[in-house]
Structure 1
C-alpha cells in the first residue's frame, strides 16, 4: 500500500515532559530525520492492534490524555492535570488550546469517543485490557472529563496512556480509513504524509501542534528488518539513526569514526508460550508424524522439561552476545509485584529427559517452534537455538520463523503450539502482564487478551482481579508477587531474558532511551 497525503491523588504537572524535544536543538538542525526501524507497523489505526511497532508510530500522530516518560512514569498529555475525587471517580482538566491537525478543536467528547472505540473495536489484540475498568465517562464542559471506574483502579493513569485520541468526527471510520490516511487525524507533533506498508512511514511536522515546536519538518521511518541492511544504510549516510543493533555489529560501529552506540536496559521480557487449550496440539505429533491422542503441553512435567532444556546463559552469551539479562519473571527481582522466591530456571538436560519419561514420552515427540524473525532482538536466532536445545533431550524439533506481519495475527489467534513472544512491562509493575498474558482469556472483560497460549488458573485470576482494584501499594504488591509465583511455577510461560536495547546513530545524534523500547522522533536530540 502506497499513499501520498497532504501521581495518584495529586495534580499533574503542566508540561508535556515525555514529548519535549532535546534542549540542544537549534534552528539550524537538519530538516529531515531518517530512522531505520527493525519491525513494521501493521496498521495506522491507533485502536486496532496493540503492539510496540503500531503504538510507537501512532504516538507520533495521536496524543493520549496521559503520556509515559522514558521511565514509564505518568505525565500530563492532553490532560494538563487531574484529581482523585474518591476511590472510583477521577476528574481530568484537559488542555484548552489543542486542535487536531485539520484545525478541529479538541474537547472531552473526542476523548470519550476514543475510549469507546478502543473498547468496542473488534480485534484479536485489543486495547480493552486498558479500558475494562471504566464504568462511565462524562464531559463536564468542553475541557473537563469525569471518569468513573467500576472499582478502585490504581493503574488508571497508565491505562489511559495507552489509548490514543482521535477526532470525534471519525468515530465511525474504519481501519481502512486510517490506513488510507483519511481518518489519520490527530493532535500529535506529526501528520501522516506517506504510508508505504512494510516499507516506510513519512511524517510531516503538524502546524497545529499544541506543544513545543519540533526541529524536524519531516521524519522518515524506514522499515528495514534485515540488520545488515539497516547498518549499511547508516554507514552509507542514508539513515541518521537505527534501532535494534545486534551485538556483532557493535565493533564496526565503534570503528567507523562518525557513529556511536546508545544503549539501555528495557522492561521487555522475551519468553516462550505454550498451547494449553487444545486437547490435540496443532504442531505436535509422535515421532512417526502421527497425531498424539492428547496435547503434551497440558502436562506440567512436559512444560518443565521444555523449560529446563533451554540453556538461558548460552542464549545470553552466544545469541545475544551479552546484551540481555536472564529472567525469572516479568521484571528483575525488586520490581513491583515480583517475588524474591522465584529464580531463573536452571539448565538441566538430564532432569528434562527424566520428566519427559515420567510424563509418558521417554522417546520424546515431534514439535514445531514458531517465532518472528524481524520483531525482537535476534528473535529468529533464539528460536533456532532453542530448537537445537530441545533436540538434544530427544524431542525432534523444527524451527519455523516468519516476518512479524505474518506472525502477529497468527499468534494473536493462538494458532501455534510453542512459540516466541515478548512483553514490555511498561507500567513499572507486574499487574499489566499478569492481566494481559497470564489471566484466563476473556475478551469481554479485557483480561487475558494477549494470553495466546490460553493458560488458565482460577486462583491466579482471583489474585489479579483483586490486585487491580487495590489502592494500597504494599498489599497490591504482595498479591501480584503471589500471582507471579503461581504462573512461573506452573510454567504458564517460560521466561528467557530481558532485552538490552541498542541504537546506533551519527555522533551528533542523541536519544533518551526508553524502558518501553519505543523509537520516537520526539526524543531524538542533536549536539552542535
Structure 2
C-alpha cells in the first residue's frame, strides 16, 4: 500500500489519480507526527502529539493564545499556601461515553499518575510532588503537594483527564487504541497504515465543535505538507518557511504565532566520559555557530537568535543575556585549552519536519562545528526513537540531540529547565548546583521574586552552555480559504472554534 504522504507527493507532481475528496464538513489537519503512544496522553508532553490529544481530552486548565492560564475542566481554583490547591470542576460535563467528568474521575487520574506505574511516564514524573489526592464531593478536587508550587495550575495544562473505568478496564496499552476523553471529538479509529487519527464530533463535549469530523494526518515531510495544502487535500497544517510566498500566491493564509521555545542542540554529559563534560568545550560549540545567519537565512528573520533557555514570551526571559558571539577563532582556542585541539567526534540525532527549517538548521550546525575541527554528523531520527531515548536515558551511539527548550505546554521556564536538570528521571545533563537553584525557585510564591530567580537561572544556564542555543522558534501554520476562526493556543489549533466555509468541494 502506498503511504499516504507519498500519495500526496505524487498528487502534487501530477502523477497518478487523486482520491475522492473527503466530506465537506470534515477538517483535515497535517502534522509532523502522530503520538507514538497513540491515545495514551501520559507518555509525551506538548509537541506534535498535542494536535491529536487536544481534540480528544481536556485538562483541568489550559493556556490561551497569549500563554495565560485559563479554566478548562476546572472553572476556578485557589490556594493559600501553594501546597494545598482546591479545584472546582465544571458542572454537567461528560466523557464521550456518557460517564460524568467529576472530581472522582479527576482524582483517579492523579492517583494513577503518582502510582509506581504512573511515575514511569513523562506526565507522571512531573506529578511527583503530589502527596495526596482527595475528592470530598462531585465538584471539588484537592491536590496536596509536598512543597509549594506557585505554577501548579499552569503545569496541569498538559495533564489530561481520562475516563477512569475505561483506563482501569483496558489498561494503558488497551486504552491507547480506544481512548475516551471529554474533548470536542471522539476517536473512530487510528489508521496505523495510513497514519491518520479519524474522529467524529463528540456531542457530549462542553467544547462542542462546529465541524462534523476531524482527521489528523501524519505527514513527516515539510514539503509534502506544503503540497497537501496547495492541493487542498488538507485544510490546515504546520508548514515551512521556504514556500510562504508560494502558499500565499495560491490563496492560502499563513499565521506565525510565538512557539514559547528556543531551538537548541542538547549536549549529553551523563552516563559516559565525554569532551562535553568540560564547560569550555560546550562554550566553544556555542561560539562556533552563527545564530544570526541561521535566523536571517533559514528562518527568514522571524526567529531571533538566542543564548538562553527562555523565549521572549516566557516567564524567566532575561533581555540582558545576549546570544553567544559567532567567533570560530575563540572556539578553536577554547578547544585547545580543554585539550581537544585535534577535535573530537560528535554524533547528533534529531527529528526533522517538526519545526520550520529544522533539517537545514541542523545540517548548518554540523557544518559550523566541522569548520572548527569537531567531526560532527547530524542523523535524522523518528519521533518515537527520540521519545524512547528520553524515557530510557539510552544515548548510546550519540553525543547530542535536537531538543527544543520549550516552555509549552504551560509557558514557564521551570518546564524546560527540569528537562535539563538532575530532576529528570534519566537525565542527560545534571548540574547539582543548578538543580538546587531550580528547586528553590519553584517554591517562591511572590511573582516578582520568582521572575528574578528564573532570570538568574537563565544566566546560569547560558554560562554553563548546557546546550547549543540557536534561535527562538516560531510556529508556521497554513490554511485554506475555507478555514474560518482559526486560533492557535499553546501551539495547537483551538478545534472547537474552527468553522469550514463550504463553497463547493475541495480541489481534487
TM range (shorter): 0.7 to 0.9
Q: 1:260 aligns with which of 253, 268, 271?
A: 253
What is the TM-score when the length of structure 2 is the normalising length?
0.87
Partner of 1:469: 443
Q: C-alpha separation between the residues in 2 aligned to 1:148 and 1:405?
A: 34
Partner of 2:176: 179
Partner of 2:466: 492
Partner of 1:312: 291
Q: 1:118 aligns with which of 113, 119, 122?
A: 113
What is the TM-score when the length of structure 1 is the normalising length?
0.84
Say whether residues 1:482 and 2:456 are aligned partners: yes
What are the Cα deviations for residues 220-271 of structure 1, in whole angstroms up to 9, with x where unaligned? 111111122212222222111121x212111111211x32212222212111
Q: C-alpha separation between the residues in 1 aligned to 2:167 and 2:216?
A: 27
Is the Cα contact below 8 Å between 1:264 and 1:513 reproduced in 2? no
Q: C-alpha separation between the residues in 2 aligned to 1:251 and 1:372?
A: 25
Partner of 1:390: 369
The runs of 5 or more residues in structure 1 that have no matched partner are: 1-28, 281-294, 444-448
Q: C-alpha separation between the residues in 2 aligned to 1:478 and 1:356?
A: 33
Question: Per-residue deviation at 1:115?
Answer: 1.2
Relative to structure 1, the CA distance from residue 332 to residue 162 in structure 2 (aligned partners, 3 Å threshold; closer, same or farther) is closer
Is the Cα contact below 8 Å between 2:209 and 2:498 reproduced in 1? no
Is the Cα contact below 8 Å between 2:95 and 2:180 reproduced in 1? yes
| Paired positions, count | 472
What are the Cα deviations for residues 121-158 of structure 1, in whole angstroms up to 9, with x where unaligned? 35766113542332212111122112222222111111
Question: Per-residue deviation at 1:85?
Answer: 4.7
Q: C-alpha separation between the residues in 2 aligned to 1:488 and 1:270?
A: 14
Partner of 1:81: 76
Q: 2:91 aligns with which of 73, 77, 96?
A: 96
Q: C-alpha separation between the residues in 1 aligned to 2:497 and 2:149?
A: 30
Is the Cα contact below 8 Å between 1:200 and 1:222 reproduced in 2? yes
Question: Per-residue deviation at 1:336?
Answer: 2.5
Partner of 1:237: 232
Give the secondary-structure state (helix, strand or coil) at the position aligned to 1:140: strand
Question: Per-residue deviation at 1:61?
Answer: 1.0
Relative to structure 1, the CA distance from residue 298 to residue 419 in structure 2 (aligned partners, 3 Å threshold; closer, same or farther) is same
Partner of 1:303: 282
Q: 2:29 aligns with which of 31, 35, 42?
A: 35
Q: C-alpha separation between the residues in 2 aligned to 1:114 and 1:63?
A: 12
Partner of 2:506: none
Say whether residues 1:423 and 2:405 are aligned partners: yes
Question: Per-residue deviation at 1:494?
Answer: 2.0
Question: Per-residue deviation at 1:216?
Answer: 0.9
Say whether residues 1:278 and 2:271 are aligned partners: yes
Partner of 1:346: 325
Give the secondary-structure state (helix, strand or coil) at the position aligned to 2:304: strand
List aligned pairs for 1:189-200, cutoff 5 A: 189-197=184-192, 199-200=195-196
Question: Per-residue deviation at 1:38?
Answer: 2.1
What are the Cα deviations for residues 419-460 of structure 1, in whole angstroms up to 9, with x where unaligned? 1111321333312222x22321453xxxxx6x4x2x222222
Give the secondary-structure state (helix, strand or coil) at the position aligned to 2:158: coil
Is the Cα contact below 8 Å between 1:48 and 1:123 reproduced in 2? no
Give the secondary-structure state (helix, strand or coil) at the position aligned to 2:70: strand
Give the secondary-structure state (helix, strand or coil) at the position aligned to 1:127: helix
TM-align CA RMSD: 2.2
